[in-house]
Amino acid sequence: MLDHNKFINERISKSISYNAFRTLQHNKNLIDFCSNDYLGFAKEAVIHHINNNTPKLLNYGATGSRLISGNYELTEETEVFLANFYNTSIALIFNSGYNANIGLFQCLPQRNDTIIYDEFIHASIRDGIRLSNATHFSFTHNNLTVLEQKLSNAKGLIYVVVESVYSMDGDHASLTEIVAICKKYNAALIVDEAHAVGIFGNGKGLVSELGLENDIFARIVTFGKAFGVHGAAILGSNELRDYLINFSRAFIYTTALPLHNIITIKNAHEFLLQNLSRIDQLKELITNFKSQISNFKSQIIYSDSPIQCIVVPGNNEVKAMADKLQQNGFDVRPILSPTVPKGQERLRICLHSFNSKKEVDNLVNTLKI
């Protein structure tokens, strides 16, 4: 008989030997420089509390999938609100960004189709692509020449997949140029805006900031980062909505989000419209941080997003640097290989509108020591 625990222990031991073993940890009241709560919305009671101004709920739980008992007028009203907010035809809510990406790529590309994706694309999209029967290729990160080479050999219906802001480096996709290339090869462009919504385009994302809404086949927007709540939506055409409702297993076979969660999604977007100054505060901190680390000897991955990275090669070395920062009161987490390629291990520093200039200054001074 096979020893299942032996297999598990061998995998764990191997991870420990590479100093790549993951454990759960609490915040420990450290200054937050690691979360995706870029605008501090996760702490806003007006977003998360159900009060007298909240519509009366028929149920607190969803009670089933949206195709059975979990679809409510409030949910569909929120989807119309989101479609108007993001300047698109429709929005279909999913339980999370991971759920949305799995649900989209599992059902849309077919066996004779081709998916071409940036090599730095998020793990959730990779997992969704694995569930598809389509042929799939990666292209070198942000390399449009390689992208066009791959497109010239693609068969069937073609899908190109990028993130507008990449989660590990914080850099942007060249969306305007990618749109032009996709039009040339009649490819449908899909953009994951997880780290762009709430920050760019007055909160509507980088696609909106560049005025490309009508050039994108589908956008994935998630609400667990800058909006501080939970859930996601796929934005696109009415036909895409109908297709996903009928063929997306991640939509069909899961219990829907509870109604109080749906309320927080709308609350967060309305709160942003009333507090756009937080985006300006965040951008000021980003500019300040970048100016202070410009003379660092370490490799810096610069970005205009809240995600700022300092490459510290080696799992042991980057863990030691993160431990040092945490001992000095800063919650900065190391990103280890194999999450990033070996030699590209880094400190991933996330800036927030609620971080003070003094906190940023103290963080930079600690990094210099």
Q: How far is CA 222 from CA 231, 268, 311, in A?
A: 6, 12, 27
Q: Which long-range contacts (CB under 8 A, 24 or more apart) does 154-157 make?
A: 154/114, 154/116, 154/185, 154/187, 155/112, 155/113, 155/114, 156/110, 156/112, 156/113, 156/114, 157/109, 157/110, 157/112, 157/113, 157/114, 157/188
164-168, 180-184, 214-218, range with the lowest pLDDT = 164-168
Tell whether the model's pLDDT for residue 252 goes beyond 70: yes
Q: What is the pLDDT of residue 53?
A: 64
Q: What is the pLDDT of residues 6-41, one digit of tens each?
A: 899 999 999 998 888 888 888 778 999 999 999 999
Give the model's confidence band at 57: pLDDT under 50 very low, under 70 low, under 90 confident, else very high.
confident
Q: Does residue 218 register a pLDDT over 70?
A: yes
Task: Give yes or no for residue 1 having a pLDDT over 60.
Answer: no
What is the C-alpha separation between 176 and 180, in angstroms, rounded? 7
Q: What element of type H or E holds 278?
A: helix 277-292
**272 alpha-carbon distance from chain centroid:** 18
Note the pLDDT of residue 22.
86
pLDDT in tens, 340-358: 889 999 999 999 999 999 9
Amino acid 297: pLDDT: 74
Report whether 323 contacts 317 (CB < 8 A): no
pLDDT tops 90 at residue 55: no
Query: Between these two residues, 71 and 56, which has the higher pLDDT value?
Result: 71
H or E element, residue 333: strand 333-335
Handedness of CA 310, 312, 318, 321 (dihedral sign): negative
The model's pLDDT over 88-142, given as tens digits with 9 standing for 90+, comes to: 999 999 999 999 999 999 999 999 999 999 999 999 999 999 999 999 999 999 9
In degrees and rounded to multiples of 5, residue 18 shows phi and psi of -90, 5
CA dihedral sign of residues 109, 115, 118, 119: positive
What average pLDDT does the chain have?
Answer: 94
Say how far apart CA 48 and CA 267 lie, in whole Å.
Answer: 8
List the domains of the chain with CATH numbers: 25-44+277-368 (3.90.1150.10), 55-274 (3.40.640.10)
Q: How far apart are CA 64 and CA 54, in angstroms?
A: 22
Predicted pLDDT of residue 312: 92
